[in-house]
Structure 1
């Protein structure tokens, strides 16, 4: 291979790396926090640039997740993750909360204090499974101020991985299950900003999640249906994989 051919390969490699970097940066626009639970110990690392590191309470087990490790939340042991208040968590105009969950049990009864919370910032925003077994979300401040409740009985996903999300764009509030719209209502107004900790796997009272949670992401923008469909079918490699990609490109030369 002559010098000219080597030069062409270098240019191609740089262009490929540029487009990969651009795609990743563009895809992460508006990402407030990403908890993958792949590390061990009593911390839940935030893979965004906002340092919303969580404190793991109750020593939940690390088990195989949809990608890497997941946290096993035990309702009886009151396991959950606490994230200290941070300005980046005050999301007021538009929001997306998404996560992979694998329920061990789903509470069904008449006591709302026992519903299964996935993520919540008290008196601001919530994503959970309500006492009737349906996916639900609540946004304080956005009007009409009422629970958005899905129609699917989440018991069908016990022992199975399912991708869930709630999205608010300032006009509509929508629930998604596996990338498909579950329920949508018109809403408007700003989400309340509060000085409270964010919780994963619990929010207050006895509203603990029971089962596995993985790849929790919080955004300050409304993800599109296409983005959520992709999120429910693809697991994107983190930024630190770029060095591996570069080495593979160099080897290909």
Structure 2
């Protein structure tokens, strides 16, 4: 029996793909368990339109503005959104993605943090951590479950603090952690052991104490699986 073009493509994709980002084919298809669209346009809370219904609270006077899609939040260099913790955030593999439009500042700017309520941390348990450096590139740190093991550090290359919209994503799978910018791989580091886990809230746009974002963040999504490069490129 002859196989159709799409069937051949699917078999080749599933059987032969070892992705440039270090992850094998993604897990079972499914939408985001976290989807904070920031489309409310008013108030001090945000809803999760994903399968896990943990919402969030706006802290320190963020402004509702027009976004990449619908409404968004403009971050003022001190405020953030605190997303309630939920089991869906505890996935051993995940993809975090967001549209950002950040200004060039003289400081680091946090996109997402999940490492506790203080900095420096009393215990190093970061398992979601992405910021923009003073040079405008993505950067991040993840901790290993073994406290004696050196932290995993990931440094991007593309300048995204340029006042333009960029889709940023971080994909974590057992083999690697990978940054994507506008659907293209920006950096990747291999995973050399079991990474730390925690059940803490998610900070959007800041970490405890300082280095908050200055600009607009929109359409924040969290998948409890590692998306393939093709899936990352298709995010909107």
The answer on whether the counterparts of 1:80 and 1:201 sit within 8 Å (CA) in structure 2 is yes
Paired residue secondary structure (2:156): strand
SS in 2 for 1:154: coil
2:168 paired with 1:186: no
- The answer (yes or no) to whether the contact 1:105–1:211 under 8 Å persists in 2 is no
Looking at structure 1, the residues matched to 134 and 163 of structure 2 have their Cα atoms a distance apart, in angstroms, of 19
Residue aligned with 1:50, SS: coil
Q: State which structure, 1 or 2, has the greater radius of gyration over its C-alpha atoms.
A: 1
1:49 counterpart residue number: 51
Secondary structure of the corresponding residue to residue 152 of structure 2: coil
How far apart, in 2, do the equivalents of 1:222 and 1:97 lie? 9
Aligned to 1:80: 80
* Separation in structure 1 between the aligned mates of residue 168 and residue 105 of structure 2, nearest angstrom: 15
Paired with 2:191 and 2:184, the residues of 1 have a C-alpha distance of 19
- TM-aligned CA distance change 1:194 to 1:144, over 3 Å: same
Who is 1:10 aligned against? none
- Can you list the C-alpha shifts for 1:150-194, whole angstroms capped at 9, x where unaligned? 112333xx2210001111111021111100001112114333222
What's the TM-score once normalised by structure 1's chain length? Answer: 0.71
Q: CA deviation at 1:124?
A: 2.3
- Which residue number corresponds to residue 140 of structure 2? 137
Aligned pairs for 1:84-233 (under 5 A) are: 84-91=84-91, 93-107=92-106, 114-122=107-115, 123-141=126-144, 145-155=151-161, 158-231=162-235
Larger mean Cα displacement after TM superposition, 129-138 or 37-46: 129-138
Distance 2:204 2:188 in 1: 24
Q: Distance in 2 between matches of 1:103 and 1:60?
A: 14
SS at match of 1:208: coil
Contiguous gaps of at least 5 residues in structure 1 = 1-24, 108-113, 236-253
Q: Over aligned residues, Cα RMSD in angstroms?
A: 1.9
Contact kept, 8 Å, 1:106 with 1:154, in 2: the verdict is: no
More helix as a share of residues = 1
Distance 2:196 2:179 in 1: 19
Taking CA–CA contacts closer than 8 Å with sequence separation of 6 or more, which of the two structures ends up with the larger relative contact order?
2
Secondary structure at 1:41's aligned position in 2? coil
Normalised by the length of structure 2, the TM-score is 0.76
CA contact (8 A) 2:144 2:152 kept: no
